[in-house]
């Protein structure tokens, strides 16, 4: 039984295909259209899923959309009534709702020709889709569930439970009270793009001190002991549909305007980031305690929704040991809703038996496009790009390790593309984490992004405890931990920032034996790599360790600022040539920059993200 | 003027005169929780279809939770059918490029 799940028209449109409960394929539309977080109907992602399984619409049992637009219109009407500027609120969403969202079935029908054997489109509730995406692929027979995002229909937060093949949600918090929207408000005010820059705010937080923490709790959000909360809407403007915060919000933080994205980041933004991060962590931990109480267990917790991508809060959750085990959907944002909707339909709606897999059934989240050896060779030959062909043997891994040790930056394109925002070794840029200057180099010359942003380490699973203090294995890079033997530069930074806003000297300080992946507070967003899920990437790191005594590499997504992660061979080669990357690995083919023909860069600048 | 300007004006009038109890500061120090209970009646996935204005109006009436005038569901159903796009080919399914980029200052809700 094939079921196709679709998420679209909000953020990160995606499609996911399952067969008898097994996840076959899942992909985000942005990877095809090259528009980051593309919200348009995922024609390309749907085509990919259908082609992967070699099926047509007639083979589908059902097609399910991850959201229910009837309820979204309900909330929209409430919002219009509640907004100060009713007209602005109506204008901001009118066309999107009445032209697109309510007619999503037309879009499906036009793309697929029908809705499978069911005969009409199915609609899963937004937070049920998130909950299902978190529970069904998890390695747990039974688990507490928390979903947290900006808003889906009415809900912003839910607590529930998964048991066998059923998912049930028990408690909720509704719009406009939203932890996701609170975080977005700070993202906006600190000069980062809403819907794009939340992770930048998270990366900025360790540079600041949480001096606004009490102020936020006093004025902006009331948090109850059970983790439930409400926002004080006197300080927010998102109901009017134009911007996240108002003048009163600005006055709360010393007045002035929200930071312009082109201006310097000041101590105020750093402290705001630190403060709201602390608030988020407090809420998440309290919610977890409540989820444990409601479900009467402390064994397993699963999470999804955009806020579940806050790996710093997730790391705190691990430290608090409320649950013994935690699993978070790697595509925790709206993209994962496509997968959740499909799984929910299969298990909960059709009451099919669920078999729990020991690790999980997400398949390493390697659910997207892959390319055959002959496709790569054809591409290289067609364009006359020089290459060195290897087999996946010691010589191949040694060559990559040698280049890493020589401080080369390597684009790694291998296997099926990742589903979700993190590159996990199949569409990654990798480098040596021992170099103190590598973070600046990667940010400035490869990724073209803000200098303060940290890079993540990928470590062999068996070496996790050697390098990090985290207490959880995670192949999906969803938890932050501490670097062993590293220094927390918190106090130094505060003294330094009294006299300068230039962050480069801070970034280049050597805080650990792995400075390029050690954030200023000695934290790191860690990916553990095992042979079963990720054999090629595992062997690269293993060889680097055997030959050069370092069982960790930098792993950052294979893209530049403002661009989605590369999907195709062409995307990868283009990105390789338009940046200062040194080496490109296309499956078992290795390309060196100095051997490539001259490249006329089509882009003279990079879009802000 | 858009083809649903009339409907928008009617909804605007309703919204601005709405009697919905709405306070900007809804934080109450004397309550223990802001959670509310979810009652799904065991339904996790919905299946519905509508081919005309009365069918959509009926769905709105059945599923909406918001307090409203009787006319609001009908006006919204009319707006939906007026805005409905007839897709001639796949290219039509794509909005203008500028519309596909998410807004900069506001969460896309």
Calculate mean pLDDT across residues A106-121: 95
Integer Cα distance of A202 and A199 in angstroms: 5
Q: A239: exposed, middle or buried (C-beta count within 10 Å: 0-12, 13-18, 19+)? A: buried
**Enclosing H/E stretch for A170:** strand A166-174
pLDDT at position A262: 86
Integer Cα distance of B67 and A63 in angstroms: 32
pTM for the whole thing? Answer: 0.96
The yes-or-no verdict on residue B97 having pLDDT over 70 is no
Closest residue of chain A to B59, computed from CA coordinates = A70
Residues of B in contact with A33 (CB under 8 A): 100
Mean pLDDT lowest for which of A9-13, A378-382, A428-432, A506-510? A506-510
Q: Give pLDDT tens digits for A177-224.
A: 999 999 999 999 999 999 888 999 999 999 999 999 999 999 999 999
Half-sphere exposure of A166 (CA within 13 A, CB side): 9
Calculate mean pLDDT across residues A346-367: 96
Tokens 């000297």 belong to which residue? A505
pLDDT at position A604: 47
The yes-or-no verdict on residue A295 having pLDDT over 90 is yes
How many contacts, defined by CB atoms under 8 Å, are there between A and B? 225
- CA-wise closest residue to A76 among A240, A243, A231: A240
Find the length of chain A: 609
Residues of A in contact with B18 (CB under 8 A): 81
Integer Cα distance of B95 and A103 in angstroms: 14
Residues of B in contact with A98 (CB under 8 A): 4, 76, 79-80, 82-83
8 Å CB contact of B34 and A173: yes
Calculate mean pLDDT across residues A570-593: 96
Smallest CA–CA separation between A519 and chain B, in Å? 27
pLDDT at position B90: 63
Closest residue of chain B to A107, computed from CA coordinates = B93
The yes-or-no verdict on residue A605 having pLDDT over 50 is no
Global ipTM? 0.92
Three-state secondary structure readout of A530-598: CCCCCHHHHHHHHHHHHHHCCCEEEEEECCCCCCCCCCCHHHHHHHHHHCCCCEEEECCEEEEHHHCCC
8 Å CB contact of A92 and B85: no
- CA-wise closest residue to A283 among A152, A177, A160: A177
- CA-wise closest residue to A507 among A455, A560, A567, A578: A455
Calculate mean pLDDT across residues B86-102: 65
The yes-or-no verdict on residue B34 having pLDDT over 50 is yes
Residues of B in contact with A87 (CB under 8 A): 12
- Between A562 and A590, name the one with better pLDDT: A590
Smallest CA–CA separation between B109 and chain A, in Å? 7
CB A404 within 8 A of CB A553: yes
pLDDT at position A508: 79
Top-ranked range on mean pLDDT: pick from A385-394, B3-12, B88-97: A385-394
- CA-wise closest residue to A455 among A398, A505, A527: A527
Residue A134 has which token pair? 């978190």
- Between B41 and A69, name the one with better pLDDT: A69
Quick one: residue A222, left, alpha or beta (phi over 0 = left, psi -120 to 50 = alpha)?
A: beta
CB B77 within 8 A of CB A98: no
Long-range contact pairs involving A258-266 (C-beta distance under 8 Å, separation at least 24): A258/A188, A258/A189, A258/A190, A258/A191, A259/A189, A259/A190, A259/A191, A260/A191, A261/A191, A261/A192, A261/A193, A261/A608, A263/A191, A264/A501, A265/A190, A265/A191, A265/A204, A265/A450, A265/A452, A265/A501, A265/A503, A266/A501
- Between A503 and B56, name the one with better pLDDT: B56
The yes-or-no verdict on residue B23 having pLDDT over 70 is no
8 Å CB contact of A124 and B22: no
Integer Cα distance of A66 and A11 in angstroms: 12
Closest residue of chain B to A89, computed from CA coordinates = B12
- Residue B19: pLDDT band with limits 50, 70, 90: low
Residues of B in contact with A123 (CB under 8 A): 45-48
The yes-or-no verdict on residue B20 having pLDDT over 70 is no
- CA-wise closest residue to A338 among A14, A1, A35, A3: A14
8 Å CB contact of A159 and B35: yes
Tokens 């659910």 belong to which residue? A367
CA torsion through residues A186, A192, A197, A201, sign? negative
Calculate mean pLDDT across residues B76-96: 79
Calculate mean pLDDT across residues A302-310: 98
8 Å CB contact of B46 and A68: yes
Integer Cα distance of A10 and A153 in angstroms: 11
Mean pLDDT lowest for which of A195-204, A290-299, A375-384, A527-536? A195-204
8 Å CB contact of A195 and B80: no
Residue A232 has which token pair? 């004080």
With residues binned 3-state (H G I as helix, E B as strand, rest as coil), the percentages for chain A, rounded to 5, are 40, 20, 40
Calculate mean pLDDT across residues A62-67: 98
CB-CB: which of A75, A106, A120 is closest to B87? Answer: A106
Smallest CA–CA separation between A178 and chain B, in Å? 11
Residue B103 burial (CB count, 10 A): 15
């Amino acid at each position: 039984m094939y079921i196709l799940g679709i998420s679209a028209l909000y953020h990160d449109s995606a499609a996911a295909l399952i067969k008898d409960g097994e996840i076959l394929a899942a992909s985000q539309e942005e990877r095809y259209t090259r528009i980051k977080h593309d919200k348009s109907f995922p024609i390309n992602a749907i085509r990919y899923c259908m082609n992967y399984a070699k099926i047509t619409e007639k083979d589908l049992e059902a097609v399910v959309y991850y959201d229910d637009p009837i309820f979204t219109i309900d909330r929209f009407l409430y919002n219009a009534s509640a907004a100060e500027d009713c007209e602005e609120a109506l204008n901001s969403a009118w066309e999107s709702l009445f032209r697109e969202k309510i007619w999503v079935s037309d879009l499906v029908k036009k793309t697929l020709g029908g809705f499978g054997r069911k005969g009409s489109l199915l609609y899963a509730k937004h937070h049920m889709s998130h909950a299902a995406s978190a529970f069904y692929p998890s390695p747990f027979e039974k688990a507490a569930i928390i979903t947290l995002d900006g808003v889906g229909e009415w809900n912003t937060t839910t607590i529930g439970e998964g048991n066998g093949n059923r998912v049930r949600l028990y408690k909720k918090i509704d719009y406009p009270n939203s932890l996701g929207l609170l975080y977005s408000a700070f993202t906006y005010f600190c000069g980062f793009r809403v819907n794009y820059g939340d992770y930048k705010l998270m990366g900025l937080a360790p540079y600041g001190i949480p001096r606004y923490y009490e102020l936020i709790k006093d004025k902006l959000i009331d948090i109850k002991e059970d983790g439930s909360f409400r926002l004080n809407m006197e300080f927010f403007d998102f109901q009017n549909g134009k911007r996240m915060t108002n003048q009163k919000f600005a006055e709360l933080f010393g007045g002035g305007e929200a930071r312009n994205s082109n201006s310097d980041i000041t101590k105020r933004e750093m402290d705001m980031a630190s403060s709201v991060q602390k608030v988020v962590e407090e809420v998440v931990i309290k919610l977890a305690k409540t989820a444990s109480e409601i479900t009467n267990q402390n064994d397993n917790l699963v999470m999804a929704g955009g806020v579940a991508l806050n790996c710093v809060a997730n790391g705190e959750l691990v430290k608090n040991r409320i649950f013994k085990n935690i699993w978070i959907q790697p595509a925790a944002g709206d993209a994962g809703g496509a997968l959740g909707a499909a799984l929910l339909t299969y298990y909960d709606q059709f009451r099919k038996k669920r078999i729990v897999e020991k690790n999980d059934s997400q398949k390493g989240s390697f659910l997207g496009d892959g390319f055959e050896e002959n496709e790569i060779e054809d591409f290289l030959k067609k364009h006359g790009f020089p290459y060195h062909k290897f087999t996946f043997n010691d010589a191949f891994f040694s060559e990559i390790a040698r280049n890493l040790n020589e401080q080369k930056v390597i684009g790694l394109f291998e296997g099926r593309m990742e589903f979700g925002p993190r590159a996990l070794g199949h569409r990654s840029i990798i480098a040596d984490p021992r170099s103190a200057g590598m973070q600046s180099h990667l940010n400035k010359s490869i990724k073209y992004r803000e200098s303060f942003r940290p890079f993540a380490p990928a470590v062999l699973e068996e070496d996790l405890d050697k390098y990090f203090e985290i207490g959880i294995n995670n192949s999906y890079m969803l938890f932050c931990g501490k670097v062993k033997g590293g220094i927390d530069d918190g106090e130094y930074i505060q003294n330094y920032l009294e006299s300068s806003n230039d962050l480069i000297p801070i970034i280049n300080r050597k805080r650990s034996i792995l400075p390029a992946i050690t954030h200023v507070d000695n934290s790191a967003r860690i990916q553990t790599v095992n042979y079963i899920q990720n054999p090629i990437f595992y062997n690269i790191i293993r060889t680097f360790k055997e030959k050069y005594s370092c069982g960790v590499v930098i792993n950052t997504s294979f893209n530049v600022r403002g661009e989605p992660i590369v999907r195709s061979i062409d995307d990868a080669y283009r990105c390789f040539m338009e940046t200062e990357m040194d080496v490109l690995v296309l499956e078992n083919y290795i390309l060196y920059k100095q051997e490539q023909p001259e490249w006329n860069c089509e882009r003279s600048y990079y879009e802000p993200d | 003027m858009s083809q649903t300007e009339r409907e928008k004006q009617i909804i605007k009038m309703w919204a601005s005169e709405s009697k919905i109890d709405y306070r900007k500061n809804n934080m109450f120090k004397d309550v223990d929780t802001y959670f509310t209970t979810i009652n799904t009646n065991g339904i996790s996935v919905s299946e519905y279809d509508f081919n005309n204005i009365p069918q959509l109006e009926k769905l709105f009436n059945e599923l909406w939770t918001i307090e409203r005038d009787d006319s609001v569901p009908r006006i919204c159903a009319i707006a939906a059918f007026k805005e409905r796009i007839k897709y001639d080919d796949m290219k039509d399914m794509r909005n203008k490029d500028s519309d596909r980029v998410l807004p900069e200052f506001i969460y896309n809700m």
